[in-house]
Structure 1
Amino acid sequence: MADANAAVEHGLDHEGAEITGAETAHTAGTEHHAEPLFLGFAPPVAVVSTSMIVLLAILVWKGVPKLVTGGLDSKIAEIKAQLAEAKTLRAEAEALRKEYADKIAGAEKDAVAMLDHARHEAEAIVAKAETDAVEVVARREKMAQDKIGAAEFAAITDLRNQAAAAAAAAARGLIAANHSAQADKALVDQAIAGI
């Protein structure tokens, strides 16, 4: 320690190099401590560096990098498999979406076709009902006219019968009142003569 102070006083550092005046003032006020050594010969930096090198060498010797790369490779393979599965699932989902979109489009076309068919059938039913109604009305009209005609004929026939009966009764009464046996004889003779 005394040597170090003497060296600083002479303008030399502990390695024997000359130091400037500012460095002399700085080192003169502080005491210089010796760095601790491992087993008396190695500084701590060298010990730590050597132990790290030895540790890395043991890790390489035991195959830790291979284990790490193997683990990473297996993870990469697993991720690739998951990505492939995701692509497959996406393709399947796209196919299903397209299939259902086609089905929906087909169902819409079928619904439109069914509506058109139902509309045409309804129009045909309405037209047939109108035709049937006209035919029924015409038949009923004819039946009514036939009934009216039959009733008129029956009434006329009844009136004729009544008129004939009335005329016969009147003629009988007149004949009975106006004709005698002699008048009948003259009529019979006249009829015979006309033959």
Structure 2
Amino acid sequence: MDATFWATVGLVIFLALMVYVKVPSMVGKSLDNRADKIRDELEQARRLREEAQQLLAEYQRKRKEAEREAGEIIESAKHEADMLVREAKQKTEEYVARRTALAEQKIGQAERDAVNEVRSNAVDIAVAAARQLLADKVDATVAEKLFKSSVQDVKSRLN
């Protein structure tokens, strides 16, 4: 018997022993467990990827919404600034118009006051001149007659 025979016999005994101890089923079970573990990890990785894609989509949606809101806020601020400018311009124009009207009223009043003062001075000068003329031309008897007639005229008008 040569060495190959004994090597073959040893191999067969070894294989029989392995089958008896149930090594192939343990190896199969170990491989099945390993395959299940890899399958679970792949499933978990797939779920995490889907969650990440959902989060990415949600954040992109939120970013677009924030950009839209920022645009609306900017547009609203521009509109409000335009309204404030128009309002300020209108108020300034109204203020200038009121101040102009007030100045014109003051100028008109000053003109009336000046005309009245000139008239008053003219009347005072005319009265003084008439007094001087009457004093030069009228004597005491004529003055007495004028006084009496003036008194009579005042009495008749008062009654």
Same fold (TM over 0.5): yes
Whether 1:84 aligns to 2:63 is no
Taking only aligned residues, the RMSD between alpha carbons, in angstroms, comes to: 2.1
Q: What is the identity, as a one-letter code, of the residue corresponding to 1:72?
A: L
Q: In the alignment, residue 128 of structure 1 is paired with which amino acid?
A: E
Look up the match of 1:3: none
In structure 2, list runs of 5 or more residues that go unmatched. none
Give deviations 1:109-155, integer Å, cap 9, x for gaps: 21222222112111111111121111111101111111111111222
Q: Is 1:163 the equivalent of 2:115?
A: no
CA distance in 1, matches of 2:133, 2:22: 160
Quick one: distance in 1 between partners of 2:83 and 2:143? 79
For each residue in 1:70-110, what CA deviation from the matched residue of structure 2 results, as whole angstroms up to 9, or x when unmatched? 11111111111111111111111111111111111111221
- The answer on 1:103 being equivalent to 2:99 is no
Separation in structure 2 between the aligned mates of residue 181 and residue 175 of structure 1, nearest angstrom: 11
Q: What is the rounded CA distance, in whole Å, between the counterparts of 2:87 and 2:115 in structure 1?
A: 41
Q: Share of identical aligned residues, percent?
A: 34
Q: Distance in 2 between matches of 1:162 and 1:188?
A: 25
Whether 1:135 and 2:94 are equivalent positions in the alignment is: yes
CA distance in 1, matches of 2:139, 2:90: 71
Given candidates 47, 69, 77, the residue that maps to 1:118 is 77
1:188 is displaced (CA, Å) by 6.2
**Structure 1 counterpart of 2:25, from 56, 66, 83:** 66
4+ residue runs over 3 A deviation: 185-192
* Equivalent position amino acid for 1:55 in 2: F
CA-to-aligned-CA distance 1:9-50 (integer Å, 9 cap, x gap): xxxxxxxxxxxxxxxxxxxxxxxxxxxxxxxxx201111111
Which secondary structure state, in structure 1, belongs to the residue aligned with residue 111 of structure 2? helix
Structure of higher CA gyration radius: 1
State the number of aligned residues. Answer: 152
1:3-82 aligned within 5 A: 42-82=1-41
Q: Which has the higher helix share?
A: 2
